[in-house]
Amino acid sequence: MVVPDIVHGLVPPMLISFSFITPLLSLIIKSKRFFMVYASLLGLLTSVLSLVIAIDVFREGVVLYPFGGWPPPIGIAYIIDKLNAAIALLAAFIFTLSIISSSVYLRRYQKASTLAYFYTILLAIFTGAMGSLYTGDTFNLFVMMEVMCIGLYTAVAFHRSRAEAVEAAIKYSFVSIIALVLYFFAAVLFYSGFQTLNMADLALKARGNTSGLVSGGFFGNYIADLVFALALTVWVFTLESALVPNHFWLPDAISEAPTPVSAVFPVAESVAVYVIIRYMFTVFGPDSVVAEGRARDTILVILLVLGAIASIVGGIMMAIQRDAKRLLGYSSISHIGFIYMAIGLAFSNSVMHRALTASILHMINYTISSSLLFISLISIESAVGGRNIDDLTGLGRSLPLLGFSITIGVLNLIGIPPLSGFYSKFLIYQAALEASQPIVAVITIVATALTLMGYIKLLYIVFGKPSIGGEKPEKQLAVSIPATVLALLCILLGLSITIGFMNILEEIAASAYSHEQYTEVFYNYMEQLFPR
The per-residue pLDDT for range 55-101, each reduced to its tens digit, is 999 998 889 998 877 778 788 899 999 999 999 999 999 999 999 99
With left for phi above 0 and alpha for psi between -120 and 50, is residue 464 left, alpha or beta?
Answer: beta
Contact of 280 with 347, CB cutoff 8 Å: no
Contact of 477 with 405, CB cutoff 8 Å: no
pLDDT value of position 154: 92
* Among 145, 155, 128, 154, residue whose Cα is nearest residue 184: 145
CA atoms of 343 and 360, how far apart (whole Å) = 9
| Count of positions (residues) in the chain | 532
| pLDDT category of residue 392 using cuts at 50, 70 and 90 | confident
What's the pTM value of the predicted model, to 2 decimals?
0.94
Element (H, E) at 39: helix 32-60
CA atoms of 273 and 243, how far apart (whole Å) = 10
Contact of 215 with 195, CB cutoff 8 Å: yes
CA atoms of 255 and 377, how far apart (whole Å) = 12
Instruction: List pLDDT tens digits, range 491-513.
Output: 999 998 878 788 889 999 988 88
Contact of 515 with 438, CB cutoff 8 Å: no
Q: Which of 26-35, 194-203, 240-249 has maximum average pLDDT?
A: 240-249
Contact of 269 with 332, CB cutoff 8 Å: yes
How far, CA to CA in Å, does 149 sit from each of 128, 267, 316, 378?
A: 8, 12, 28, 23
pLDDT value of position 521: 84
| pLDDT category of residue 208 using cuts at 50, 70 and 90 | confident
**Mean pLDDT of all residues in 237-247:** 92
In the chain, what percentage of residues exceed pLDDT 70?
94
Average pLDDT, the chain: 88
**Mean pLDDT of all residues in 182-198:** 88
* Among 238, 334, 314, 305, residue whose Cα is nearest residue 277: 238
CA atoms of 328 and 455, how far apart (whole Å) = 9
* Among 152, 184, 175, residue whose Cα is nearest residue 165: 152
Instruction: List pLDDT tens digits, range 410-469.
Output: 999 999 988 999 999 999 999 999 988 999 999 999 999 999 989 998 888 887 776 655
Instruction: List pLDDT tens digits, range 312-365.
Output: 999 999 989 988 899 999 999 999 999 999 999 988 778 889 999 999 999 999
pLDDT value of position 205: 85
Q: Is 211 exposed, middle or buried (0-12, 13-18, 19+ CB in 10 A)?
A: exposed
Extended strands (E) in 73-182? 77-80
- Which one-letter DSSP state was computed for residue 50? H
pLDDT value of position 146: 94
| pLDDT category of residue 215 using cuts at 50, 70 and 90 | low
CA atoms of 412 and 415, how far apart (whole Å) = 5
Buried b (16+ CB within 10 A) or exposed e, 287-301: ebbbbeeebbbebbe
Q: Which of 109-123, 132-146, 284-298 has maximum average pLDDT?
A: 132-146
> Could you give the angle at the alpha carbon of 414 between the alpha carbons of 408 and 416, nearest 5°?
70
Instruction: List pLDDT tens digits, range 374-391.
Output: 998 887 777 676 778 887
pLDDT at 470 over 60: no
Backbone angles phi, psi at 453, to 5 degrees: -60, -35
Q: What is the DSSP string of 387-420?
A: -BHHHHTTGGGG-HHHHHHHHHHHHHHHT-TTSH
pLDDT value of position 270: 95
pLDDT value of position 432: 93
Q: Is 235 exposed, middle or buried (0-12, 13-18, 19+ CB in 10 A)?
A: middle
pLDDT at 106 over 70: yes
pLDDT at 473 over 70: no
pLDDT value of position 50: 95
In the chain, what percentage of residues exceed pLDDT 90?
54
How far, CA to CA in Å, does 467 sit from each of 134, 326, 392?
A: 48, 22, 9
Least trusted range by pLDDT, from 78-82, 206-210, 246-250, 507-511 = 206-210
Helix ranges, 208-351 (H): 222-240, 250-256, 259-262, 265-277, 289-292, 295-319, 324-345
Please name every residue paired with 80 in a beta bridge, in sequence order, or none if there are none.
63
Contact of 338 with 425, CB cutoff 8 Å: yes
Contact of 81 with 62, CB cutoff 8 Å: yes
Backbone angles phi, psi at 85, to 5 degrees: -65, -40
Q: Which amino acid is at 98?
A: S
CA atoms of 5 and 259, how far apart (whole Å) = 36
Buried b (16+ CB within 10 A) or exposed e, 7-39: ebbbbbebbbebbeebeebbeeeeebeebbebb
pLDDT at 218 over 70: no
pLDDT at 214 over 70: no
**Mean pLDDT of all residues in 164-184:** 92
pLDDT at 278 over 90: yes
Decide: helix, strand or coil at residue 92. helix
